[in-house]
Structure 1
Amino acid sequence: MLHHCFIVICALLSLAIPLLVAMESCPAIGMPGMPGIPGLPGRDGRDGEKGQKGQPGAEWHGGLVPQKGEKGEPGLTGFAGKRGQSGEPGKPGGPGIDGPLGEPGEPGTAGVQQQAAFSVARGTNDYPDKASVIRFTNVITNINDDYNTATGHFRCRVPGTYYFVFHASLEDRLCVLMKLDQTLLTSFCDHRRSRRQVTAGSLAVYLSRDQEVWLETKDYRGMRGKPAGYSIFSGFLLHAH
């Protein structure tokens, strides 16, 4: 053990002696000088060679960067916007398919206008009563039954201007009144006495629908109705309105 320690001490002395000798032979160390001026920046070096392409990174699921979320639910319907400007007119469309046939319409008046006419005759040789409606019971023409043989009245179904005329065969004095709904239109009187004669009267008058026209007697009522001399009442439409 002592042997080893001696060897170590000798080694340390062999190192320390040369240092001491050097310190004796060198002068004292001076103060450090001022730092030198920095040199100019050096030039950039040449670009290095391009490195190889790296491997794709793994998909990133975390961190502070915002991530795309899942699709949300549809929002509520917004308010209707203002009406935009009208566009240019489009081209006309093609003709459509024919529709079904409609139901028949109500009967028109054209056909009735041409058929509004009647002619009737007295069916008896007896005089009519005083101040009464003169009834003509023998029908010659009575289109649409506008003349009523039971009442002696003509009833208008087609409004317009009508022409009425009567021809009376008589052997006594006669006064005939033509009335429209209880209103006197005119009177025709023949006060001459003879064995046999004929008298007539006519009038054009405007009628509204459902108005009625007829003939009445007054004090004189000598109208006959025998085949040898009939008394006839006629009427027909001149112009429909």
Structure 2
Amino acid sequence: MFGCGVLGVSLVLCLSPMVSLEPCPCGGTPGTPGIPGPPGYDGRNGLKGEQGNPGMAMQSGMGMVQKGQKGDPGARGKAGKIGKSGIPGPAGVPGPTGPQGDPAEAEHAKSALVSAFSVRRATDVKPDRNTPVRFTNVITNINDHYNTLTGKFGCQISGTYYFVYHASSTLKNLCVSIMLDGQRLAGFCDHMVSTHPQQVSSGGLTVYVKTGQHVWLETDNNNGMYAAGERGDSVFSGFLIYAH
């Protein structure tokens, strides 16, 4: 009923006319497993896959991501270049009044606002016409405001001053003008008479003088001023009444 055939070397198949497979009763004993072969080589890299779809944006409050800890500060970088100056800001509010300063020394405070002089002409030579009359012998010259070289009083303190002169003359008429920076403020004349060849004249005025201005005396052609010691002197004086 059955036919058996051998195919190949070690396979024995039993063929049934019913096309059914069953163990062949004439099969041999299984052999010993073979030695494992060496590991195979890595396969080639596969093709790059397609880009995936964008992930969903994390919404606040979902609690899916935890905030990490604060990292250590980085190293300090180099100082940058100084930028351009900005536009000046508006003026600030005035600060409070400072404390009162210490009082100035009494002597300095007094001398700072004092100006006075009295000078005498120490020659009997007639003064030059239309030029400052020089009084070279100093009687008083506080703070040296009168210059004996130029014959002019130089104002250092603006204020009201009083200027006056007393002049001796002999054998010639005398006209004296009080000048302020080239401007004639007032003039005084004394004319000689035959019975009194020696005369004394005087004149004075009060005037406001600014710092930097000058005051002096001038004569014209009537320049009979002289100084002869015991017989008479010619004196020019001035002093500050009050500063302002």
TM-score range, shorter chain: 0.5 to 0.7
Contact 1:109 1:158 survives alignment (8 Å): no
Cα distance, 1:128 vs structure 2: 1.1
Letter in 1 for 2:233: Y
Task: State how far apart, in whole Å, the 2-side matches of 1:180 and 1:120 are.
Answer: 18
Cα distance, 1:153 vs structure 2: 0.4
Cα distance, 1:145 vs structure 2: 1.4
Q: 1:160 maps to what in 2?
A: 159
Contact 2:119 2:235 survives alignment (8 Å): yes
Relative to structure 1, the CA distance from residue 69 to residue 133 in structure 2 (aligned partners, 3 Å threshold; closer, same or farther) is closer
Instruction: Say which structure is richer in helix.
Output: 1
Residues matched between the structures, number: 148
Cα distance, 1:130 vs structure 2: 2.3
Contact 1:124 1:225 survives alignment (8 Å): yes
Contact 1:166 1:202 survives alignment (8 Å): yes
Q: Deviations over 1:76-132 (max 9, x none)?
A: xxxxxxxxxxxxxxxxxxxxxxxxx99x9xx97752223x00000011011112222
Instruction: Say which structure is richer in strand.
Output: 2
**Unpaired runs of at least 5, structure 1:** 1-65, 75-100
Q: Deviations over 1:120-174 (max 9, x none)?
A: 0011011112222211010101112111111100000011000000001111310
Cα distance, 1:72 vs structure 2: 4.2
> Are 2:241 and 1:238 aligned?
yes
Q: TM-score normalised to the size of structure 1?
A: 0.55
> Are 2:209 and 1:210 aligned?
no
Task: State how far apart, in whole Å, the 2-side matches of 1:205 and 1:190 are.
Answer: 23
Task: State how far apart, in whole Å, the 1-side matches of 2:64 and 2:117 are.
Answer: 102
Identity score, percent:
47
Task: State how far apart, in whole Å, the 2-side matches of 1:70 and 1:126 are.
Answer: 109
> Are 2:178 and 1:178 aligned?
yes
Q: 1:135 maps to what in 2?
A: 134
* Larger Rg computed on CA atoms: 1
**Unpaired runs of at least 5, structure 2:** 1-62, 72-100
Task: State how far apart, in whole Å, the 2-side matches of 1:149 and 1:111 are.
Answer: 21
CA root-mean-square deviation: 3.0
Task: State how far apart, in whole Å, the 2-side matches of 1:191 and 1:70 are.
Answer: 114
Letter in 1 for 2:238: G
Task: State how far apart, in whole Å, the 2-side matches of 1:207 and 1:161 are.
Answer: 6
Task: State how far apart, in whole Å, the 1-side matches of 2:202 and 2:236 are.
Answer: 10
